[in-house]
C-alpha cells in the first residue's frame, strides 16, 4: 500500500500493509461462519445493535469527521455532515429491520407466503470520495437484512472504515459480521468479485471498474449493484430565480472539490439569460472559500492525490472563463474553474471528478432536455425554473435517477439513490435498498384436507 497522506499537507498519516488473496479469503471465511448465527438474531435484537452502532457514531462524530477530513482533504464542515448522515443511516435501517417482511397471498388450493431472506456474505467495495458515508449506505441495509459483510475501502482512504469496524464491535455486533480488508482493487476487490462464497457485490466507483465487476460476477452469477460515474446537468431556465441559481451552482460542482458522482458539472443555461447568469456564476465561484480543510469556514479543499490532480488538469485546454485561487505550498490543490464549451467537447462528455464546471447555452426546453440526455451517464441533475409544470415535464424527460428542482440536493436517507444508463443499477438508501440485500422466497402451503 502507498503511504496514506493528508492531501492538504502531503504529510504521512499511516502506513498500512496491503492484504492479499489469503487475507481476503480469511475475511470471507469469517463472514461465512458468522452468517449462520447472525441471520437468526431476533429482529428486535438486530435493530438494537444497529441503533447502538448509530449512537456510537454520534458519540465519536468529531473523531470520525477529523479522520475523514484529514484522509480525503475534505472540509471539516462537510465531513461533519457526512458523519451525521452515517449515524442517521444506521438509525434508519435499525428501524427497518422488522418492517421488511413478506406477504400472504391467496392462491387456489392453499396459501402462499413470501419471506425476505438474507443473501449470505456480501462484498462491499467503495471509493475514496465519501468513504464512510458510502460504506454506511451499503452496511446499513446489508446488516439489517441479516447478511454478513466484507468491506473493501479504497486504497487511498481506508482509515475511517477501520475505525467504524472497531465501533461495530464495541456496539456488540458479533465478530465476523463486519470485516474490513484493506488492499488493492485488483487483488482484494477482484477476489471478492470472484469468490464463490460471496453472494453479492455492492459496488460504488467508476463506470470502467463497474464493468469489470459486472463481468467478473457473471462466473458465479453473483448479485451486483453498481453505483457508477456521472456527468450531470444543472439546467437553468430564463424564468428561474437566477440569483439563487447562480449562488447555488458552484456548490453543485465544487463541493468535495468536484469529486462527487452527483456533481452537476454541465451547467446548461437558456441563451436569453446566458451572459447575465455567467457573470453571476463567476462572482459566486470567486467567493468559494478554498483552503485548510481543518478550518470551520473552508468550503473546498485539495484533490485527493497528485495523480488525480494531473488527470483533472489534463481536461483544461486553452484559457478557461474563470480560474480561482489556491493556497501556496504543499497539497494537491486545483482551482475552481469555469469553462465555456459545447456539449460534445471532451470536457462536457467525460467525468472530470474535479472542480471544473462547463457552461453550455441552450435555446428552449426541448433543446435543454436533449443536451441533458446526450451523455452515457444518468445519475443526477437539477432544474431551475419558477414554472411548476415545466419542472415536472423536464424531470420526467431527463434520464437520471436522482433529480432536484430549485436545489442542488441529491441525497436523503429515506429516498432511493442510484443511476440510469451507465451510471449503474440498483438503488441505495430508502427502503428500496433492502431489496438489493435480500432474496424473496415464495412458499405454498396446501390446505387440502
Piece in contact with ligand NAD (CB under 6 A), picked from 107-115, 202-210, 243-251, 272-280: 202-210
Please tell me the distance from the alpha carbon of residue 250 to that of residue 281, in angstroms, as a whole number.
7
Q: Which of 82, 155, 227, 351 is catalytic?
A: 227
β-strands 110-118, 438-446 pairing: antiparallel
**Which residue is it, cell 423536464?**
394
Number of residues that bind ligand NAD (CB under 6 A): 31
Using CA of residue 118, residue 22, residue 154, residue 203, what is the dihedral sign?
Answer: negative
| 128 part of the interface to ligand NAD, by CB under 6 A | yes
- Is 227 a residue that touches ligand NAD (CB under 6 A)? yes
Considering only residues 72, 180, 209, 252, which one is a binding residue for ligand NAD as defined by CB under 6 A? 209
For residue 351, state whether it binds ligand NAD (rule: CB under 6 A): yes
Closest CA to 441 of 40, 97, 146, 113: 113
Strands laid side by side in the 148-152 sheet: 178-180, 148-152, 121-125, 198-204, 223-227, 424-425
- Asked if 401 is part of the footprint of ligand NAD (rule: CB under 6 A), the reply reads no
The residue from 145, 261, 262, 336 that is catalytic is 261
305 binding ligand NAD? (CB under 6 A): no
CB 428 within 8 A of CB 225: yes
Query: Least distance to ligand NAD from the beta carbon of 189, Å?
Result: 2
Q: Is 185 in the site for ligand NAD (CB under 6 A)?
A: yes
Stretch that binds ligand NAD, among 8-16, 198-206, 247-255, 326-334 (CB under 6 A): 198-206
Residue closer to ligand NAD (CB basis): 242 or 433: 433
DSSP state of 263: -
227 is catalytic: yes
Identify whether 261 is a catalytic site residue.
yes
DSSP letters, 215-240, are HHHHTTT-EEEEE-----EEEE-TTS
- Round to whole Å and give the CA distance between 250 and 356: 10
Strand partners, 340: 359
Nearer to ligand NAD, 97 or 257 (CB): 257
Q: Which one, of 153, 142, 178, lies nearest residue 34 by Cα?
A: 178
Q: Is 441 exposed, middle or buried (0-12, 13-18, 19+ CB in 10 A)?
A: exposed
Closest contact distance (angstroms) between CB of 43 and ligand NAD is 28
> Which range touches ligand NAD (CB under 6 A), out of 74-82, 98-106, 207-215, 355-363?
207-215
**Kind of pairing, strands 356-362 and 266-270?**
parallel
- Residue 71 binding ligand NAD, by CB under 6 A: no
Q: Does 353 bind ligand NAD (CB under 6 A)?
A: yes
Q: Is 190 in the site for ligand NAD (CB under 6 A)?
A: yes
Determine, following the binding rule CB under 6 A, whether residue 377 of this chain makes contact with ligand NAD. Answer: no
Out of 55, 77, 114, 206, the only residue in the binding site for ligand NAD (CB under 6 A) is: 206
- The DSSP output letter for 2 is P
Residues of this chain that bind ligand NAD (CB under 6 A) = 125-129, 134, 152, 154-155, 185-186, 189-190, 193, 204-206, 209, 212-213, 227-230, 261, 351, 353, 379, 419, 423-424
Give me the active site residues, please: 227, 261
Amino acid at each position: 500500500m502507498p503511504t496514506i497522506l493528508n492531501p492538504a499537507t502531503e504529510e504521512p498519516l499511516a502506513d498500512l500493509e496491503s492484504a492479499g488473496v489469503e487475507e481476503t479469503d480469511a475475511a470471507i471465511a469469517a463472514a461465512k461462519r458468522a452468517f449462520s448465527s447472525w441471520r437468526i438474531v431476533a429482529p428486535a435484537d438486530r435493530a438494537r445493535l444497529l441503533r447502538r452502532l448509530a449512537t456510537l457514531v454520534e458519540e465519536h462524530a468529531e473523531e470520525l469527521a477529523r479522520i475523514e477530513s484529514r484522509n480525503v482533504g475534505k472540509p471539516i464542515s462537510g465531513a461533519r455532515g457526512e458523519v451525521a448522515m452515517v449515524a442517521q443511516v444506521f438509525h434508519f435501517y435499525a428501524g427497518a429491520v422488522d418492517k421488511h417482511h413478506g406477504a400472504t397471498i391467496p392462491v387456489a388450493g392453499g396459501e402462499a407466503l413470501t419471506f425476505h431472506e438474507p443473501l449470505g456474505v456480501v462484498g462491499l467495495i467503495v471509493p475514496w470520495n465519501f468513504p464512510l458515508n458510502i460504506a454506511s449506505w451499503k452496511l446499513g441495509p446489508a446488516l439489517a437484512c441479516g447478511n454478513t459483510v466484507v468491506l473493501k475501502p479504497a486504497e487511498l482512504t481506508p482509515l475511517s472504515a477501520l475505525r467504524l469496524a472497531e465501533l461495530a464491535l464495541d456496539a456488540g455486533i458479533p465478530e465476523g459480521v463486519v470485516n474490513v480488508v484493506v488492499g488493492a482493487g485488483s487483488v482484494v476487490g477482484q477476489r471478492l468479485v470472484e469468490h464463490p462464497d460471496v453472494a453479492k457485490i455492492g459496488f460504488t466507483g467508476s463506470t470502467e471498474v463497474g464493468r469489470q465487476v459486472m463481468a467478473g460476477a457473471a462466473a458465479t452469477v453473483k448479485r451486483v449493484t453498481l453505483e457508477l460515474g456521472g456527468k450531470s446537468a444543472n439546467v437553468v431556465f430564463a424564468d428561474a430565480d437566477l440569483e439563487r441559481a447562480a449562488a447555488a451552482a458552484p456548490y453543485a460542482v465544487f463541493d468535495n472539490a468536484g469529486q462527487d458522482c452527483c456533481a452537476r458539472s454541465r451547467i446548461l443555461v437558456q441563451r436569453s439569460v446566458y451572459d447575465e447568469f455567467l457573470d453571476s456564476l463567476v462572482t459566486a465561484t470567486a467567493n468559494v472559500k478554498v483552503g485548510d480543510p481543518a478550518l470551520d469556514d473552508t468550503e473546498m479543499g485539495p484533490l485527493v492525490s497528485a495523480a488525480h490532480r494531473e488527470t483533472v488538469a489534463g481536461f483544461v485546454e486553452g484559457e478557461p472563463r474563470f480560474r480561482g485561487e489556491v493556497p501556496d505550498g504543499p497539497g494537491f490543490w486545483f482551482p475552481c474553474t469555469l469553462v465555456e464549451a459545447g456539449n460534445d467537447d471532451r470536457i462536457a462528455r467525460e467525468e472530470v471528478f474535479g472542480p471544473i464546471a462547463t457552461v453550455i447555452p441552450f435555446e428552449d426546453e426541448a433543446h435543454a432536455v436533449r443536451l441533458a440526455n446526450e451523455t452515457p451517464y444518468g445519475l443526477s441533475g437539477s432544474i431551475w425554473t419558477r414554472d411548476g409544470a415545466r419542472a415536472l415535464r423536464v424531470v420526467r424527460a431527463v434520464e437520471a435517477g436522482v433529480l432536484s428542482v430549485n436545489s442542488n440536493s441529491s441525497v436523503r436517507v429515506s429516498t432511493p439513490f442510484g443511476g440510469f444508463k451507465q451510471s449503474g443499477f440498483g438503488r441505495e438508501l430508502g427502503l428500496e435498498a433492502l431489496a438489493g440485500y435480500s432474496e424473496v422466497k415464495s412458499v405454498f402451503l396446501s390446505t387440502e384436507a
